[in-house]
Amino acid sequence: MAAAAAFFPVRFAFATPPAGRYEAVLAQFPDFNGTVAVGRRWEILFSRALGLADPVAAMPMALNTRFETGSVSKWIASMVVLELVDQGKLSLDAPILRYLPDFRADNGLRLTLRHLLSHSSGVPNDIAAARKADPKAGTVELAQMDAVRRYASGDLRFAPGTDWDYSHSNWLLVKAIVERVSGQTYADCVSSWLVQPLGLRDSGIYTGDSSAVPGMAVGYAGPPWQRKPSVIPDFMAMAGGFYSSAEDMVRLMEGVLGGDRILTSASREELLKVQRPLQHYALGGRTRVEIIAGQPRRAAWEDGSNGGFRMVARRVLADGVSVVVFNNTSTPHQKLGDLASGLMEAAYA
C-alpha cells in the first residue's frame, strides 16, 4: 500500500454499473458460499446470496440470512460508546475509575476509554488465554463485573497509550462502563441507538450459540463439513456478539458514517481517527488509505471472524460506496478481501 502518498478526496460521478459487472467478479470465486452487498449511500446497487446457509441440512442461502460479525462487533461497540459521548455521559479521555469506582484503582486511574477502544491499554488478554487453556472457561456466564475481576484486572503489560495489543479483555471493561452509565443492557443500547433508528431487520446482539437466532447461518469448516461454533457469553458481547446481514451492514455504515443521523460529526471523526498507525487501528476498527479505482481513497476497513464465520466490510468515506461480504464456511480472509476489492472496483467501473 502506498500509504505515504498524499491523499486528496476524489469526487466521482457515478452511474449505476450493470449487474453483469458484479456477476463477472463473483464468477471468479466459484466456490464462494455466503452473501454479498454493494451500496452507494442508502441504495443497494447489487446483492446476491450463494450456496448454503447450512451445508449439512442443505438450507439455501438468502439475502436476509444472518451471520456473526466476529470482531466487527468491536466497531459496533465503539459506536455505542460514542453515542454516550454525544449524550454527555462519557468522555474518551477520562480515567475509567470515574465510571467504575469498584475497579482496580491503580489501573482505573491510568486507563481511558480511548485506550480500551484502540487496544492500546496494556490490559492483558486474560480471557483469550483462559479460553485457550480450557475452551469451556470463557463460555460460562458471569455477571459483568465478575468477568472484569476475573479476566480484565491483571497488571498492565505496558504503559497505556505506548503500545498495541489486541486484547478481548478491553471490551469486558467497556461493556461494564456502558451498562452502568446508560442504565441499560448493552443489547438494548444497540437496539435503541442503532437497529431501530436505522430500520435494520436482521441485526442485533446474540449470546451463547448463535444457531438459536432465527434465520442465522451455521458456521462450518470443510468439506467434509464439520460444524465450527464459538460460544459468546453475554459478558463478551462487545468483543464478538453482533450479528447482521449483508444489506443491513450497508445500511448501518451509511446511517453511522453518512451523516448526523446517529453520531455527531465530531464523534464520527473520533470513530475513524487512526490511533495506532502501524495497525491502521482507530476505535474498534480500522481506517486505511487504499488505491481503489486508481485513486488513493480513505476507507473504513473492517474484518471479522468467529468459529466458521468470516466477513469483510469496506466503505469509501468520501463517496459512500460500501461493500460487504459474509461467509460461513471458514474461507480465508485474503480470498474474501479479493472478492470485496473486485466488487468495489466494479462499483467504480
Please tell me the predicted confidence (pLDDT) of residue 4: 40
The pLDDT of residue 10 is above 50: no
* Ramachandran bin of 34, using left for φ above 0, alpha for ψ from -120 to 50, beta for the remaining angles: left
User: What backbone torsions phi and psi does residue 311 show, to the nearest 5 degrees?
Assistant: -155, 155
Please tell me the predicted confidence (pLDDT) of residue 6: 40
In the predicted model, what is the mean pLDDT of the chain?
Answer: 94
Helix segments in 103-220, DSSP class H: 105-110, 113-117, 126-133, 144-151, 169-182, 186-190
pLDDT-derived band at 307 (thresholds 50, 70, 90) equals very high
Mean pLDDT of 54-73: 97
Burial degree of 337 (CB within 10 A; 0-12, 13-18, 19+): middle
Q: What is the pLDDT of residues 118-177, one digit of tens each?
A: 999 999 999 999 988 988 877 789 999 999 999 999 999 999 999 999 999 999 999 999
Q: Hey, what domains does the chain have and what are their CATH numbers?
A: 19-348 (3.40.710.10)
Please tell me the predicted confidence (pLDDT) of residue 111: 98
Count of beta carbons in the 10 Å neighbourhood of residue 226: 11
Please tell me the predicted confidence (pLDDT) of residue 178: 98
The pLDDT of residue 15 is above 60: no
Contact criterion met (CB below 8 Å) for 222 and 329: yes
For the annotated catalytic residues, the residue numbers are: 71
Please tell me the predicted confidence (pLDDT) of residue 21: 94
pLDDT-derived band at 237 (thresholds 50, 70, 90) equals very high
Mean pLDDT of 259-267: 96
The rounded Cα 188 to chain-centroid distance in angstroms is 18
Nearest to 246 by CA among 215, 288, 210: 215
Reply yes or no: is the peptide bond before residue 160 cis, omega within 30 of 0.
Answer: no
Please tell me the predicted confidence (pLDDT) of residue 137: 77
Q: Where are the beta strands (DSSP E) in 122-263?
A: 204-205, 220-221, 226-227, 242-244
Q: What is the pLDDT of residues 90-122, one digit of tens each?
A: 999 999 999 999 999 999 999 999 999 999 999
Pairwise CA distance, residues 2 & 290, whole Å: 8
At how many degrees (to 10) do helices 265-272 and 72-86 cross?
A: 150
In order of 144, 147, 265, 271, 290, the CA distances from 127 in angstroms are 13, 9, 34, 25, 33
The pLDDT of residue 7 is above 60: no
Contact criterion met (CB below 8 Å) for 324 and 311: yes
Please tell me the predicted confidence (pLDDT) of residue 18: 75
Cell numbers describing residue 174: 467497556
Mean pLDDT of 267-290: 98
Nearest to 75 by CA among 227, 219, 263, 329: 263
* Ramachandran bin of 208, using left for φ above 0, alpha for ψ from -120 to 50, beta for the remaining angles: left
Please tell me the predicted confidence (pLDDT) of residue 319: 95
| Rg of the Cα atoms in the chain | 20
Q: What is the pLDDT of residues 185-218, one digit of tens each?
A: 999 999 999 999 999 999 999 999 999 999 999 9
In order of 140, 167, 186, 233, the CA distances from 134 in angstroms are 11, 18, 26, 15
Q: What percent of the chain is modeled with pLDDT above 70?
A: 95
pLDDT-derived band at 16 (thresholds 50, 70, 90) equals low
Mean pLDDT of 224-234: 93
